[in-house]
Amino acid sequence: MSAPPAISCHGLETGPAGRSVLRNVCFDIPPGTVTAVLGPNGAGKTTLFRTLLGLIRPARGTLALFGQPVKTGRRDVGYLPQTRTPAGPTLSGRTHILAALQGSRTWGLPDPRGPAELDRLLQELGVSSLADRPFGSLSGGERQKLLLVQALLGQPRLLILDEPLAGLDPAHMQDVAVLAGKLAREKGLTVLMSTHDINPLADVTDQVLYLAGGEARFGTSDDVLTSPVLSTLYGCPVEVFRTPSGQVFVSAGRT
Partner 1 sequence: MLQFEFMRLAFLASGLAALLSGVTGWFLVLRRQSFAGHALSHIGFAGAAASLWAGLPPLAGLMLTAGLGGTVMGTSGARQEQHDVAIGLTLAFSMGAGMLFLHLLNGPARRATALLFGNVMGIDTPTLICLTVTVLAGLAGMALLARPLLFLSLQPELAEARGVPVRLISGLFLGLTGLATAACAEVTGVLLVFTLMIGPGATALRLGLTPLAGLAAAAGLAVAEAWGGLALAWQSDAPVSFCIALLSLLVFGLTTLRMKRKNGDVQNTQF
Query: Footprint of partner 1 on this chain (CB under 8 A)?
Result: 50, 53-55, 72-73, 79, 81-82, 85-92, 95-96, 99-100, 102-104, 106-112, 134, 136-137
- Provide DSSP, 49-103: HHHHTTSS--SEEEEEETTEE--TT-TTEEEEPPP-SPS-TTSBHHHHHHHHHHH
- Give kind and range of the element (H or E) at residue 144: helix 140-152
Strands of the sheet containing 68-69, edge to edge, are 22-29, 7-14, 60-65, 68-69
3-state secondary structure of 12: strand
Distance in Å, CB of 85 to partner 1, minimum: 5
Residue closer to partner 1 (CB basis): 142 or 175: 142
Shortest CB 113 distance to partner 1, Å: 10
Residues 248, 246: Cα–Cα separation, whole Å = 6
Task: Output 81 or 214, the one with its CB closest to partner 1.
Answer: 81
Closer residue to partner 1, CB minimum distance, 53 or 177: 53
For residue 134, give the DSSP letter: B
Nearest Cα residue to 43 out of 167, 207, 194: 194
* Residue nearer to partner 1 on the CB measure, 153 or 240: 153
Closest separation in Å from C-beta 71 to partner 1: 8
Closer by beta carbon to partner 1, 100 or else 178: 100
**Alpha-carbon span 55 to 34, nearest angstrom:** 23
Residues near 174 by beta carbon (within 8 Å), at least 6 away in sequence:
200
Find the shortest distance in angstroms from Cβ 188 to partner 1: 22
- CB nearer to partner 1: give 154 or 219: 154
Tell the smallest beta-carbon distance from residue 79 to partner 1 (Å).
5
**Least spacing, CB of residue 163 vs partner 1, in Å:** 12
Q: Which helix (H) or strand (E) holds 114?
A: none
